Structure 1
Amino acid sequence: MKSYFSTSYKQNENGYIEILLQIIKMMNINASNREVNDFLFEVGVNLANKHAVKNVDSLSGLHLEINDILTKMGFGVCQIEDADNHVIIKHHDLPVIDDGDFKNKWLQYFSVIMCGLYNSWFRQTGAPVELVCTIKEIIAPSDAVFEFKRVK
């Protein structure tokens, strides 16, 4: 029996999505949009602290490190591009849900979690506090574009 569980049993990634979906739906009903966003951003910050990037000395090194962490977490992958005075993060394969009425809100809220992650990962590499991760675009069903730049 032990052999079965150690080799054949695989965790269902959708299990954590279902739990998170229900939590976010309840928060959406019981709190303001700003409160939900603030809370989910902090969730991303806490996840980044738990899954910190190693010391990297280049944007390409950070890109590889982040993708390694994202893959292990089941959160998709990203492309990071230097755009002169800011960084563009193209994120692919965010977790998708089947709930038709909540799909757009889900993608928006999960993107806020990702902003918390990216913001913290860049801070861990020495980025100044004046630079902040923002959602530039959400592309259904599972992609988003973020910018890490100075907020005026």
Structure 2
Amino acid sequence: MKTYFSTSYKQDVNGYVEILVQIIKMMNMNASNSEVNDFLFEVGVNLANQHSVKAADTLSALHVEINEILSKLGFGVCQIEDANNRVIIKHHDLPVIEDREFRDKWLQYFSVIMCGLYNCWFRQTGAPAELICRIKEIIFPCDAVFEFKRA
């Protein structure tokens, strides 16, 4: 039995997604959109503080480290590109939900969590406070593009 659990058992991340969807649905019903967004951004910041990045010398080193953390969290993967006056983050494989009525709102809200994560991770590497992560584009069903640039 011990062998079965140590080699065959895989943790399924769908359970956390279902719980999170229910929490966000309830928040969406009981708070304004800006209150929900502010709260979820802070959730991302808190996650980034719990799963912090080390000081990276280069953007490519930061890219590798962020992807390692994203993989552990089950949050997909990203590509990070220097675009002169901003950083573009192309995020792939965000968690997908089955609920067709809430799917669009879910991806929007989960992207806000990701903004909090990215914002905090860049701060941890020394990025100045005037640079902020924003959602540039949401690509259904599970991708998003973020910009990290001056406000």
Give the TM interval when normalised to the shorter protein.
over 0.9
Partner of 1:23: 23
Structure 1 CA distance for aligned equivalents of residues 3 and 66 of structure 2: 33
Partner of 2:10: 10
Root-mean-square deviation over aligned CA pairs = 0.8
Question: Deviations 1:65-111 (Å, cap 9, x if unpaired)?
Answer: 10111111110100101111110000000000000000000000000
Partner of 1:50: 50
Partner of 2:122: 122
Deviation, 1:2, is 3.0
Partner of 1:143: 143
Question: Deviations 1:29-85 (Å, cap 9, x if unpaired)?
Answer: 011101100000000000000000112101111111101111111101001011111
| Structure 1: runs of 5 or more not aligned | none
Question: Deviations 1:97-139 (Å, cap 9, x if unpaired)?
Answer: 0000000000000000000000000000000000000000000
Moved >6 Å (runs of 4+): none
Q: Tell me the secondary structure at the aligned position of residue 104 of structure 1.
A: helix
Q: How many residues in Structure 1 have an aligned counterpart in Structure 2?
A: 151
Deviation, 1:4, is 2.6
Amino acid at match of 1:133: C
Structure 1 CA distance for aligned equivalents of residues 12 and 61 of structure 2: 30
Q: Tell me the secondary structure at the aligned position of residue 141 of structure 1.
A: coil
Question: Deviations 1:5-50 (Å, cap 9, x if unpaired)?
Answer: 2222221110000000000000000111011000000000000000
Amino acid at match of 1:75: F
Partner of 2:37: 37
| Structure 2: runs of 5 or more not aligned | none
Amino acid at match of 1:134: R
Amino acid at match of 2:4: Y
